[in-house]
Structure 1
Amino acid sequence: MKNLGRLSETEMEVMEVIWELATSVTVNQLLDIFKTKGWKTSTLSTILNRLIEKGFLTKSLNGKVNYYDPALTLSEYKKSETQSFLSRLYNGKAKNFIAALVDEDELSKDDIAELKEWFTREDGKK
């Protein structure tokens, strides 16, 4: 997967709506969805263009209307963000992240038991 740009809070909000709709969207559709924000067409167009530049959206023209589609799924985005997070803070290792949670008492005994059960279950799938 290519290296994606970082999403601002507003960009993430727009992408979450697009992922949830699971169909091509237009600026007018998004303006209607985000009407409580009071965005103008130019504001939303700027956000969408940034999402295209960052690799999150593609744009196609049908007649005089632009249609926007996600360039990746929410699941693919989560995987990319997780890999980036682990790489930046934990030398690319999930074990280091989990160890940090345990060392900082962020995981309860129940959490640890659930993780052990999950790892056992997942190991048996292979």
Structure 2
Amino acid sequence: MKIQLFKRNERGLNRFFGPLEAKIMDVLWQGERSIKDVQHELEKEKSTNFNTVMTVMNRLVDKGILIKRTEGRASIFSPVQSREEFVNTQSKEMTQELMDEFGSVVVSHMIEALDEADEALVAQLEQKIKDWKKEPSS
């Protein structure tokens, strides 16, 4: 599943989704739900129309982000990937696209960004590089 639009000036899930889509995904990453259940959760914050929620959820199915199954008369929705899997997949695809298009410039900027990174993250990267160097070339 490839997200077509990455919004650089947004934060969190809003980088990948519209505001309502992001809220719906937050609800569904807690567990599968019907449209009515999702609408009920969203109404805790702000009144949200059932038809609007249904339309957005069905569009997320069309995009391959949600799975829809029928249980009695209700449609039950669940994410194709966990939140962690989604973020991992999207960040990996974005990184690969940047590397393919801009190569060494991207690597340089990533290294510069390490100056502000958590020490544990830097240690994790160092270990990953050591492991990568040990792997036999294909």
The TM-score with structure 1 as length reference comes to: 0.73
Q: Deviations over 1:21-69 (max 9, x none)?
A: 1x32011111111113211110000110110011011111111111111
Aligned partner of 1:11 among 16, 21, 24: 21
Contact 1:5–1:54 (Cα < 8 Å) also in 2: no
How many residue pairs get matched?
Answer: 120
Q: Distance in 2 between matches of 1:112 and 1:28?
A: 42
- Report sequence identity in percent: 18
Provide the secondary structure at the position in 2 that maps to 1:60.
Answer: strand
Q: Take 1:111 and 1:95, find their aligned partners in 2: how far apart are those partners?
A: 20
SS at match of 1:68: strand
Give unmatched runs, 5+ long, in structure 2.
6-16
Residue in 2 that maps onto 1:88: 97
Cα distance in 1 between the residues matched to 2:101 and 2:86: 17
Task: Quote the offset at 1:98 in angstroms.
Answer: 4.7
Deviation, structure 1 residue 97: 3.7
The secondary structure found in structure 1 opposite 2:95 is helix
RMSD, matched Cα = 3.0
TM-score by length of 2: 0.68
Structure 1 spans left out of the alignment, 5+ residues = none
